[in-house]
Amino acid sequence: MKLSHKTQWLENLPLSTLQTLMARYALRAFPAIVQRYESTTFHEDHFLKHARSLLSAVCLIAKPSEELRIAAVFAAANARQAGHDVDHSAASLAAVAAARSLVLRRGDEAKHEILSSIETLPFSDFAEQAQWDYGKISSASENPAISHSPLWTIELQHFEAARQIDTPNDRKLQKRLSFWREWYQGFLDGKPLDWELQRRVALIDDTIWDAGPETVAAEIERIRSLFELEQEIANLKGQLTAVQNTPAAALIGDNGGPPLEDAPARAFQTDLALIWKQVEELEEEIAKPSPSLSHLEKIAKALWDISLRMTAYCGSIADGMIREGSKELAKAGAKWTARATAVTVTAQTEGVQSVVKAIGAFVKTLQ
């Protein structure tokens, strides 16, 4: 293959560097994978195949694993096959090359795939930006270029730096593609979505990808809602652990805090233990291949009821601060303890309610 000025400077670079640069090339070209639709049909299946190919490529670079490599093999093959239905553009060729260059067994074949694809990209902006990327890669001990930098950092002559994926004025279609627009915006800004979330989407089974856009969108929504629920659970567990290690928690029932003989205080301590129990049950349930809707709803109700009791308890602390302002709470230590306890309870309540809302969102994806 005869190389032009676009690729001559790339010819002798290490393959791993070329693979990262190829992924960045493909990301920049990605909005051109679809036309600026007016009356033209949006080829959603064509779009999804190439989005999957590019997703698998960036995940494999960022978090390499054998399961992602296998996913990239199938993703690249399916995207390449999509050319039989819709003509390949430079952008679609780049999305395919980004994945294929990572899974081809021979290095010379992978390099040829990369250079051939880059030759088809029409604008000088791409080469200039890739040179900036190369400088970033060369000066770093790790590989930041795939994620830590915005896609465009140079002044562009031919391309729109903020260009997003174009979709027709179809609300259902826009909703199905909402994940992909957010995913792409993350790379535009140099702040990609959580890699674990991306990895889970990349590993969606072939049977689901082949079942059509509606099925794919539903599975992505399920994966995302489950991921967000897991994050809320982790945040709540962190709060609960912190509470156990704070002076305010230790002083509940001591002279500086609400007395143990106070019924709301005793109920609060009981509820802290109940939250742990419900969270453990929740983690066990969502880990199952087919979580029980009724069990999830039961857990959500139990947690919501606890949050209401905690809100009432927080109110009782505030009342106590007012009533006893001239007595015990006049002491600096007592003031701090009461306030810290109120803040602690408020944080717990918000954390519990966030988990409940996340359970509700996850349950909707299972119905």
Question: What pLDDT, in 10s, does the model give residues 205-248?
Answer: 999 999 999 999 999 999 999 999 999 999 999 988 887 666 54
Strand, coil or helix: 234: helix
Distances (CA, A) of 152 to 89, 155, 162, 244: 21, 8, 9, 47
Distances (CA, A) of 4 to 10, 11, 19, 115: 10, 11, 19, 10
pLDDT interval class at 347 (50, 70, 90): low
Please state the separation of Cα 202 from the chain's center in Å: 12
Question: What pLDDT, in 10s, does the model give residues 301-320?
Answer: 999 999 888 887 766 554 55
Q: Report pLDDT for 332.
A: 43
Q: Report pLDDT for 185.
A: 95
Give the tokens for residue 253: 């029932």
pLDDT interval class at 42 (50, 70, 90): confident
Distances (CA, A) of 133 to 80, 90, 301: 27, 20, 51
pLDDT interval class at 336 (50, 70, 90): very low
For residues 63-80, average pLDDT: 96
pLDDT interval class at 326 (50, 70, 90): very low
Contact 78, 40 (CB under 8 A): no
Contact 222, 200 (CB under 8 A): no
- Tell me, what amino acid is at 105? R
For residues 195-201, average pLDDT: 97
Angle at 170 between CA 167 and CA 174, to 5 degrees: 55
What's the predicted TM-score (pTM) here? 0.86
* Extents of the domains making up the chain: 8-146+154-211, 224-366
